[in-house]
Each structure stands twice: as C-alpha cells, then as structure tokens.
Structure 1
Amino acid sequence: MRVIQLPNPSRILCFAFYIIFTLLQQATAERELKFVAVVFRHGDRTPIVNFPTDLHKESEWPQGFGQLTKTGMQQLYELGQYVRKRYSNFLNSTYNRKEFYIQSTDYDRTIMSAQSYLSGLFPPTSSQIWNPELLWQPIPVHIVPKATDRRLHFPLSDCPRFDELQNETQTSSEFQSRIQPYMDFLQTMAVNTGLELNHLKILDNFQLWNTYDTLYCEGIHNYSLPVWATKDVVDKMEKLAELSLLSLFGVYKTEEKSRLQGGVLVNIILNSFKQAANSSRERKMEVYSAAV
C-alpha cells in the first residue's frame, strides 16, 4: 500500500486535504496498479456558526452557514480533473458503476464536494452525453445517515472508551501544559466574543475552534472583522484551534484514540485492498468525501 498526499490544486485553502491510497501488486515483470482509495475534505465553505458578538449574520451568506462556496466547487472540480489525469491509464475513461464507488457524509457541503469532484473526474463523452448543451452526467453519491455513519463521521459519538480518553486528555499534564499559557487570553476572548469562559476552556467542544473558523472564513471572503481580531489575536486563536483538533487524536494516548476513531475507516480501506489483491473484483476506485 502507498499513501500519496496530493499537491494542492489552485485556490486550495489551508483546511482542505486530499489523500490517495494505492494498492500496487507485484506482477511477473513489473508492479501492477490494482486499486485506489481516495479520501478528501470538502472545499471552501461558509462559517459553521457565528458567535454572540459577531458582526455578520447567517443571512449575509448566499446559502447560509456551513455551505460549499463557488470557490469550493471549483477546488473539488479541479481535484477530479487531477485524479482523472493521474489515473488516465488505470481508470476507465467513462463512468462504470462496477469499477467506481463514492460515499459522502450526510452534509450539504460534502455531498456537493463529491458532485463537484465527479464533474471533473467523469465528464461525459461519446455515448454518455445525454444533453449536448450540458457536459455533465448524474453519478450516484452514496450517503449514510449521520446517526449510523461509522466510516466517515468523526468523532464517533457512541464509543465510551474514546469519551473516557477525551476526559483524561483534558486533565492530562500534556494537555494542561499546552493550554495554561493561554488562560489570560481565553478570558479576553470570552469578553470579546460573548462566549462563556468555561466553555472556551473545554477545547473539544469546538467553541473556540468554531470562532476562529468563523473569523477565518469571514477574512478570506473579505467580510469586515471586529477591531479586536488583530493578527496577533487571530494567530493565537489558530494555535488554540490546532490544539482543539489535536486533542481528538493527539497529545495523550494518541495510538489508542486514533485506532478507536480513524481505525474504522482504515480497516474498511484495508479490507478493500485485500479483496482487490486476492480476487477478480471489478471495482478499481473508492472515494470518500468526508469531514463535517
């Protein structure tokens, strides 16, 4: 198995990521590509929520909160084009349901990202053109309801051991040594944002991450920011936002936490590799459009 971190297509923003897993099987003369699994995050989106003192309301965003933007659509379209070019000698030039499968989390932005990706990966040609004025074709994107999605919806909400590890993480010396230098800053942030200080201190509830993300989205889309959101403040918020995400899988007992969460998807991908290597299975590529 090889893991490939894809180079960023143009206009990719910092929170987008793409990973390709490939299965290369040793043939008699040279290695033969047998199977590809692709995992990507949605493209550029609007903020998920706002905070009490935010200058901007949901109505100011064309489709509201948490929605894929036109930039995000273009990003994933270009990613589909990139993968089409990279695997032009492996993947069928036209869509074949037996060779290809794509699944998305049950969010508008991830579903639309999957659709944008497919537009770049499988533009209809020859007999698949059904409307000469529209070089696009419908391709099924498979969805599992949030409540039962154990492949892509993170963090999983029904794992008592992971919840236990998260509580231990928040009180661990490793975590506390990282957050203590920011305590005065968090008090100032509570005043500036209107959020409860005790909630901001609990990083895995994502209140602080969401606040940073809201300011980040507003900034890159040229919305005015509050006067207190200076570069120094936003930089500190970014560090805490990174710590918030890191606390899910890192900082403390990282191997066990990663296995309990990401291990579910990794196991599914590894099983697909085994099937591709040991059988005449037709499927060549599986794609996952994920991240809430």
Structure 2
Amino acid sequence: MLINNYRVFLLVFIGIQATLGLRVKFLNVIFRHGERAPLASGTEVFPTNPYVNYTFPPNGQGQLTNKGKQQVYDLGVHIREKYDDFLGDKYHPSLARAQSSNSDRTKMSLQLMMAGTFPPSSEQQWNSILHWQPVVMNYVSGPDVLVMSTECPQFSAEFERTMELPEVHEKIAEYDELKNNLTKWTGKTIAGTRDIAGIYGCLRALNSIGFELPEWTKGIFPDGILLNATLLHFRLCSYTKRLKTLNGGIMLKNFVDTMSSVIDGQLPDLKLNIFSAHDYNIASLLDVFDIIESHVPHYSSGIFVELLEDDYHKYYVRVFYYKGIPAERVPVNITGCGESCPFDKFVQRFSDIFPSEEDLKCPKDQIVKMYK
C-alpha cells in the first residue's frame, strides 16, 4: 500500500512539474579536479612515505593523471548531454563564466571540463583533426575568497576558536591513539584532524593511481578510522554557523547573487557559472545542503545548482550532487523545501549563512594556508 501511495505521489509530482513547464534558466556548477598524483608539499608529505622522492613522471607531483583528465572531460560531456538544448550548439564567451583556483590541477581540469561541454560546432571547427576549441577561463592569482575562503583570516580565526570548544575537544580526543600511531608511522607530528586529512589525501592519491601502500594502512584505509577522522575534519570546517558562512556560505551567496541577476535581466546571455575547485569546496556545500556522505568527495565530483523558470515566470532552484565516482548525479532534497524549491524560499532558507561585505575581505598579508 505504501509503495502504491508513493507511486501515486511521484506521478502527481512529475505531472505538476510538467504542467508548470519547468525549464532550466541558468546553471551553477562547482566541481573537484580530476585524479592527481600526491602533492609535493603541505600536509600530504611525510618522511616515511616510500615514494617521498618519486617525481611521478611524466606529469609530476600534484598534477592530473590521464585518468583524472578523462574524469573531468567526462563531467563536461555529462553537462553537455544533460543541458544540450539549453546550452545550444555554439560556444560564445558571454555564455559562461568559468573560474579556477590558482593550481595547475584545477586549471587543467577546467579546460578539460569545458572541452567536454563545448565541442566546436561545424561553424566553429577550425582544425579538421582536432575536435576542440579554446574557451575563456579565469583564475584569481591573489587572495581568492570564493574558492579558497578557508585561507582567509576570518575563517582561520573562527576555526581556531571552534577547535577550543569542549565538545570539539571530545570529538578529536577519540582519535588520540590514531594521532600517536600516525606520528610513529609517518615520521612527522600529527597534531590534529587537519594533519590526518592530509595523510588520507596522500594515501588516496597513491591508491587511486595503483601504488602499493605501507603495511600500516591496512585496516584503517580506505575505510575505517582514518576515513572517519578525515570526515570529522571536513565537518569541523563547517561546525558552527559562522564557519558555514565563511566556508560554503560564500560560494552559495555567489550562486544566489548570480541567479538574482539573471532573473532581473542583468545577465541576458549568461547560462553557466562554473568553478573548478577542491574536495573541501564540495564538502562545504554538501554540509550546507545537509547531505551526509560516508566518503570524502571523489575526484571530479560536483554540485549543480539550477535556476528553473515555469510558464508563469516564477523561479525555482534545483540541486544535484554529481558523485564523480561513479559518474552519476542524484537530486538533493532541500530541507524544508523539497527538490524544486521556489527561489525566494530558497534564498530565505539559507540567508542566515550568507556573508557580509566584511566577511568577503581577505587581505593578502593575512592569508593562512589551511593545508600548508
């Protein structure tokens, strides 16, 4: 009986959407770069790593692998397949804003993703052998409050305050034995969850590209206590409302402001707002949308935030989580609003974590590297 009722509800819901004639008006996308080699510096580096002196040819440390290139290209193809009619068959610079963080792997990932999304039309085909066309993309060389907000002083100060909360001390204390063991195994001091997340990132990169891992990783990686401590770190980065604001809230406000400008007719040609970013960016938005996952965001995973318009020129927001591995996406049920949320209600739902102008200040001389 319950199953039949659910089927009736689903059919009614689909029927309502069809009656309203919901269609995509605009699309925001933020995604993680593709598979990469371990980083050459920062929290991923540890003295006992058997590959500590390996340079990972031909591309190098921290660079995309061929599989990683394919992953983000496939994401672009996925976007093209899902939004083909909406995007049209010709690329124009006014069609998309595409921004990357200032790292090789995200810049290259953005190029590859855009190549999959915007193959040249017959009119734009400039080389009979190469089915590719150049597109416009940008990055911020200095403080990047959108993609790298965790490096800004407001976030760093709030994160340190949060680490001093008694309940946070209790949560971290559950991993004291792991910290001690990792300090012994890795040959460097593992002081907190940030350091643990760095070790997890290195092991994940090595494992993904097929390298044999140290014996001590058995039983704690890829699942187990090392994963749990890493997931705790990502949760702690959005533990308070203030941290949510300074983390995922900043990116979400960009999405909302851009959609508002589209609704108001200020951006008549713009259809895409795209960011090539990192696992912690995806994790911050998963937290904002109350999506609980038992894994660290995979390579090429992403969040899609659609602006929809109905036949009566009313606007809605729909969110999808693209998992990357596997290459599929799932709809997100927005708490208190459902899957197709009226735009004004969506804005109201998240307005308490939108940043102020002061929150968006990120002085260059006060940058603190979260994963230095």
- Per-residue deviation, residues 231-259 of structure 1 (Å, max 9, x unmatched): 23652211111112221112xx2x22111
**8 Å Cα contact 1:105/1:289 also seen in 2:** yes
1:128 counterpart = 2:115: no
Q: Is the 8 A contact 1:153 1:291 kept in 2?
A: no
Task: Write the mapping of 1:17-32 to structure 2, written as runs, cut at 5 A.
Answer: 30-32=21-23
Aligned positions of 1:150-229 closer than 5 A: 150-159=145-154, 162-196=155-189, 200-203=190-193, 206-229=194-217
- What CA deviation, in whole Å up to 9, does each residue of 1:53-98 have, x standing for no partner? 1000353412222211111111111111111111111112111111
Q: Which residue of 2 aligns with 1:17?
A: none
In structure 2, how many angstroms separate the alpha carbons of the residues matched to 1:194 and 1:104?
A: 34
Q: Which amino acid aligns with 2:182?
A: M
What is the distance in 2 between the residues matched to 1:130 and 1:259?
A: 45
Q: State the Cα RMSD in Å.
A: 2.0
SS of alignment partner, residue 38 of structure 1: strand
- Residue 55 of structure 1: which of 50, 53, 56 is its match? 50
1:242 maps to 2:231: yes
The alpha-carbon distance between structure 1 residues 225 and 33, as it changes in their structure 2 partners (threshold 3 A), is closer
* TM-score normalized with structure 1 length: 0.81
Code of the aligned partner of 2:231:
E
1:27-60 CA-to-partner distances (Å, cap 9, x unmatched) read: x963343211111111111112431110003534
Does structure 1 conserve the Cα–Cα contact (< 8 Å) formed by 2:179 and 2:196?
Answer: no
Counterparts of 1:236 and 1:217 in 2: how far apart (Å)? Answer: 18
3-state SS of 1:241 partner: helix
Tell me the distance in 2 between the aligned counterparts of 1:223 and 1:192. 18
Judged with a 3 Å threshold, the aligned counterparts in structure 2 of structure 1 residues 141 and 172 are, in CA distance, closer, same or farther, namely same
Q: Please show how residues 62-141 of structure 1 align to structure 2 within 5 Å.
A: 62=57, 63-141=59-137
Q: Distance in 1 between matches of 2:23 and 2:215?
A: 57
Q: Where does the alignment leave 5 or more consecutive residues of structure 1 unmatched?
A: 1-25
Deviations 1:130-164 (A, max 9, x none): 1101111111211111x3211111313232xx333
1:264 aligns with 2:260: no
Q: What is the aligned partner in structure 1 of residue 218 from structure 2?
A: 230
Percent identity of paired positions between Structure 1 and Structure 2: 28
Q: Do the aligned partners of residues 245 and 58 (structure 1) sit closer, same or farther apart at CA in structure 2, a change above 3 Å counting?
A: farther
Paired with 2:221 and 2:264, the residues of 1 have a C-alpha distance of 54
Aligned-partner SS, 1:148: coil
TM superposition shift of 1:119: 1.3
- The 3-state SS of whatever aligns with 1:103 is strand
AA partner of residue 187 (structure 2): G
Map of 2:369 onto structure 1 = none
SS of residue paired to 1:72: helix
- Look up the match of 1:10: none
**Separation in 1, partners of 2:118, 2:25:** 20
**In 2, distance between residues paired with 1:285 and 1:225?**
40
CA–CA separation in structure 1 for the residues paired with 2:234 and 2:200: 12
| Inter-CA distance 58–114: structure 2 relative to 1 (3 Å threshold) | farther
- What residue identity is the alignment partner of 1:174? E
The yes-or-no answer on 1:36 pairing with 2:27 is yes
> What is the CA–CA distance in structure 1 between the aligned matches of 2:27 and 2:100, rounded to whole Å?
17
Partner letter of residue 86 of structure 1? K
Unaligned runs of 5+ in 2: 1-16, 280-372
